Amino acid sequence: MRAYHTLAMTLVMAAATAQAGTVTVTTANDTIDINASTATLADLPGPDGKVSFSEAMIATNNTPGHDTVEFAIPPAEWTLQFAYPGRAVIRTTGGFYFRSFDDVTIDGSTQTAFSGDTNPDGAEVTIYGATLYINGDNSTLRGFDTCAIQLTGSNGIIEDCTGTMNITVFGGSGSTIRNNTGGTIKIDRSNDNIIIGNTVTRVRVLGWVGGGLPATNNRVGGPALADRNYITGYGTHDGEGYPSGSTIQIFDATDTLIENNWIGTTPDGLSSGSNASTAGIGFEGENHDTTIINNRIAGILGIGQGPHAVGYIAGSAIRIYGNGDGITIQGNTIGLDANDNPILGSVTGIYLSNYFSGPPTDINIGGTGPGEGNTIAGHLIDGITVESPVTGAAIRGNAIFMNNGLGIDLRPASGTPGVTPNDALDADSGANNFQNFPVLTAASSDGSTTQVSGQLHSTPLTAFVIDLYASSECDASGHGQAERFLGSIDVSTDASGNAAFLQSVAAPAFAGEVIVATATDLVAHVTSEFSACEPVTVAPPACPGDSNGDLVVDFDDLNEVLANWNTSGGGGDVNGDGVTDFDDLNEVLTHWNQGC
């Protein structure tokens, strides 16, 4: 019986494979002269001798196996050429049959092969007046222009579409949206999808946590250049003229990765892509474990207009408004154009604010490992704003400079900007617990290391890490920003909340620079504002082989070595090993007649 069963299954599969095939759409009219319930590919064409797109969908849905729909619509049938020049426009009065329920490849690029490249700016097939629904798993749509697509099946591909495409992935999982141009790509309660290589105005990753349907494990971009999306900016002006809109919207999502995209600019990275976008990446709802790495986010500046919003401006490259946890923001360039000029800033680089159901927590902005720090520059107010009662934001290792406000501003609930003074025992509460900043008293550099002294007054009996930065100038507040991360030192407060430090880090500072510092409580996961600036004193560089300190290696140094030969603790010990010997002689001869 098992043998008969296997044979029967083989025959069924062979029959299904045999029935699968290719159908070519030959008319732009929405004619249906076949049986919509039973017609298969074998029944095409109908009595009129032509195949409409509706008929192709009906037949592929009724034919088992993976089918392919191709296009060869004569240019004589192309309508609406004033709106869609050079394109075969498929029109429908209802669009009911513009749906696939079986796995299918719908290949609009075949129209180009038939009629030539009649639309040099894009594809040659468009749908007018209806949405195309792709409900079957393992389906592919390719080479359409200026239409609306909704994919509900799993493991689908939508690629090489052009114009003002709007693509929605609703439900299902595992689909890839790649190499398209257009308006909006929306992931709606769908998981494990990949969005790569597109040039669009916005991307939305939407879930529904309350209904148990978060959008999970979706990826926008990737590490390769071909993975990069150019998401140019989305926003609208309301009736009063106020701008609003997120270029990437993340709502009720988990395990979202945003990597290596250009967000908010024209594709060349030199201009703003929208005058109404107010968030480059906007968080709303409840989100968990979001990673934002290696993106360029710039040009996010919504500009008000008439009748009542002239002069109004708003915008943040990253706006975290929503609850949840686990947000990592690393390696991004924020506010700089493609030439790394800080001329496309927002009002604020990164803005963290409260949500009605509670603030976000466990946020990492930057880091001290290679490539983890963000570059945040050119913003009209702050580099980073943390607004009460948001806490749990560690801000480390970033280059924050040329912002008109503070580099890091921990604000009260009122939103009042400015330096928050240190308080006794760091007992206050608010944004990042209003973590006290260090007070620096001296800074010096010898050309290879930088030594800093100061103290931190904060929570008693607590371990902190002090991050040190060099900058070319201070803010008007007297506090610094952070052009260059130098290194970190560890301190612990005593029972009175005090920790003094005098330590060096293995990075140089230069003449004319100032040193600033932050304090981070790694347990509470909070970072302070930047300290007041401390000018750096730069010592002359050490001069190898220069025994007498006159900054040139000559006979005077040679004579001093020979005069103190084989002695300890005397002159001529140019390498500092405690004895004058052949090592010192070689040092002098190696650097002979060199100056410092």
**pLDDT per residue as tens digits for the range 324-342:** 999 999 999 999 999 999 9
CATH no. for 436-524: 2.60.40
Residue-level pLDDT at 2: 36
For Cα atoms 195, 199, 201, give the angle at the middle one, nearest 5 degrees: 95
pLDDT above 50: residue 51: yes
Q: Give the pLDDT mean for 86-98.
A: 87
Cα distance between residue 148 and residue 182, in whole Å: 10
Residue-level pLDDT at 8: 37
Beta carbons of 151 and 169 less than 8 angstroms apart? yes
**pLDDT per residue as tens digits for the range 212-222:** 899 999 999 99
Q: Give the pLDDT mean for 283-303.
A: 98
Phi, psi for residue 138 in degrees, rounded to 5: 60, 40
By three-state DSSP, how is residue 258 classified?
Answer: strand
pLDDT above 70: residue 11: no
Beta carbons of 156 and 137 less than 8 angstroms apart? yes
Cα distance between residue 61 and residue 39, in whole Å: 9
Residue-level pLDDT at 14: 38
Q: How many angstroms separate the Cα of 78 from the Cα of each of 75, 124, 531? A: 5, 11, 68
pLDDT above 90: residue 578: no
- Residue in the block written with tokens 């930088």: 450
pLDDT above 70: residue 13: no
Tell me where in the chain the CATH 2.60.40 domain(s) lie.
Answer: 436-524
Residue-level pLDDT at 92: 85
- Of 9-18, 65-74, 291-300, 321-330, the poorest mean pLDDT is in 9-18
**pLDDT per residue as tens digits for the range 38-48:** 999 999 999 99
Residue-level pLDDT at 540: 67
Residue-level pLDDT at 389: 94
CATH no. for 540-596: 1.10.1330.10
pLDDT above 90: residue 264: yes
Residue-level pLDDT at 569: 66
- Of 106-120, 284-298, 563-577, the poorest mean pLDDT is in 563-577
Residue-level pLDDT at 357: 74
**pLDDT per residue as tens digits for the range 497-535:** 999 999 999 999 998 999 999 999 999 999 999 999 999
**pLDDT per residue as tens digits for the range 158-213:** 999 999 999 999 999 999 999 999 999 999 999 999 999 999 999 999 999 888 89
pLDDT above 50: residue 226: yes
Cα distance between residue 152 and residue 168, in whole Å: 8
Instruction: Please report which helix (H) or strand (E) contains residue 587, including its range.
Output: helix 582-590
- Of 251-255, 307-311, 366-370, 573-577, the poorest mean pLDDT is in 573-577
Cα distance between residue 123 and residue 140, in whole Å: 16
Q: Which of 523, 294, 520, 487 is nearest to 394 (CA)?
A: 520
Confidence of residue 541 (pLDDT cuts 50, 70, 90): low
Beta carbons of 357 and 286 less than 8 angstroms apart? yes
Q: Give the pLDDT mean for 400-405.
A: 97
Mean pLDDT of the chain: 93
3-state secondary structure 315-380: CEEEEEECEEEEEEEECCEECCCCCCCCCCCCCEEEEEECCCCCCEEEEEEECCCCCCCCEEECCC
pLDDT above 90: residue 577: no
Tell me where in the chain the CATH 1.10.1330.10 domain(s) lie.
Answer: 540-596
By three-state DSSP, how is residue 426 classified?
Answer: helix
Q: Give the pLDDT mean for 589-593.
A: 89
Name 226's Cβ contacts closer than 8 Å, sequence gap at least 6: 196, 197
Residue-level pLDDT at 361: 95
